[in-house]
């Protein structure tokens, strides 16, 4: 850490010139660090106030006043911006926007105090999940897919493909297949020797194509 009284190099012998130049470069290299403002300070100067050795303050001189910009916490390796309109935390920005892709690395997007996480597109915008597999729920609880309020929940495909419902990732599971296309079938296919069990009031014109069918009334 070093400070100098000015940045002006006087005419002098080589040895004294080198010493003064090294002192000036040392001051520049350490942001004019010291426990008080350097004598060389002019409007527009930055300097590091080291009154607190572990949390020094970066200051800007505007020609009449010292403006404290931020403090550095050497122990926590953090920066604390002192102007209330500047924040390194998203919580300090009332309308944050990303300037690029958000990479969560190995972390999750979480909430606290049992709060929901809302994803709310503007206007007619949709939520698009660009993944081959979307997992709902945690490993220890049943999951529910439902509509919000009285709205109708529609499950469909985005193109001319079939819609298949199964359990256990399709392993050792029966399937319900809604085949895409005009006049195509809805196929109920039990696994192995399983049956199609229809319970409740029903139309008696149902028929079976090889599997046993249990009709409950």
The answer to whether residue 123 scores a pLDDT higher than 60 is yes
* Count of CB atoms situated within 10 Å of the CB of 214: 9
Model confidence over 85-96: pLDDT tens digits? 555 566 667 778
Beta-bridge partner residues of 214: 197
Task: Say if residues 27 and 9 touch (Cβ distance below 8 Å).
Answer: no
For the chain, how big is the Rg over CA atoms in Å? 35
Band (190; pLDDT cuts 50, 70, 90): very high
Task: Say if residues 165 and 181 touch (Cβ distance below 8 Å).
Answer: no
What is the spatial distance between Cα 133 and Cα 139, in angstroms, rounded to a whole number?
16
- DSSP H helices, 30-113, are none
Model confidence over 12-25: pLDDT tens digits? 999 999 998 998 89
Task: Say if residues 178 and 163 touch (Cβ distance below 8 Å).
Answer: yes
For residue 60, the model assigns a pLDDT of 94
End-to-end CA distance of the chain: 89
Q: What is the pTM of this model?
A: 0.50
> Hey, what long-range contacts does 109-114 have (CB within 8 A, 24 or more apart)?
none
- What is the DSSP code (8-state) at residue 92? G
How confident is the prediction for the chain on average, in pLDDT? Answer: 86
Q: What percent of the chain has pLDDT over 90?
A: 50
Distances in whole angstroms, Cα of residue 111 to Cα of each of 108, 114, 115: 10, 7, 6
If one compares 215 and 178, the residue with the highest pLDDT of the two is 178
In a 3-state reduction of DSSP, which class is residue 91? helix
For residue 52, the model assigns a pLDDT of 93
DSSP 12-27: --HHHHHHHHHHHHHH
What is the spatial distance between Cα 213 and Cα 211, in angstroms, rounded to a whole number?
6
Task: Say if residues 166 and 172 touch (Cβ distance below 8 Å).
Answer: no
């Amino acid at each position: 850490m070093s400070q100098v009284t000015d940045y002006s190099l006087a005419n002098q012998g080589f040895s004294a010139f080198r010493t003064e130049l090294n002192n000036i470069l040392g001051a520049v290299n350490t942001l004019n660090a010291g426990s008080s403002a350097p004598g060389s300070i002019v409007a527009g100067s930055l300097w590091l106030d080291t009154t607190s050795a572990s949390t020094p303050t970066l200051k800007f001189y505007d020609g009449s006043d010292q403006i404290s910009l931020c403090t550095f916490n050497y122990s926590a390796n953090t920066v604390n911006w002192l102007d209330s309109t500047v924040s390194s935390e998203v919580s300090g920005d009332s309308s944050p926007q990303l300037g690029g892709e958000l990479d969560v690395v190995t972390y999750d997007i979480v909430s606290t105090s049992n709060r929901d996480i809302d994803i709310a597109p503007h206007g007619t915008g949709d939520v698009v999940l660009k993944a081959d597999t979307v997992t709902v729920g945690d490993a220890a609880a049943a999951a529910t897919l439902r509509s919000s309020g009285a709205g109708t929940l529609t499950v469909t495909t985005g193109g001319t493909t079939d819609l298949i419902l199964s359990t256990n990732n399709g392993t050792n599971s029966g399937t319900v297949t809604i085949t895409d296309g005009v006049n195509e079938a809805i196929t109920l296919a039990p696994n192995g020797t399983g049956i199609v069990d229809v319970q409740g009031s029903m139309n008696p014109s149902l028929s079976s194509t090889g599997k046993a069918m249990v009709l409950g009334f």
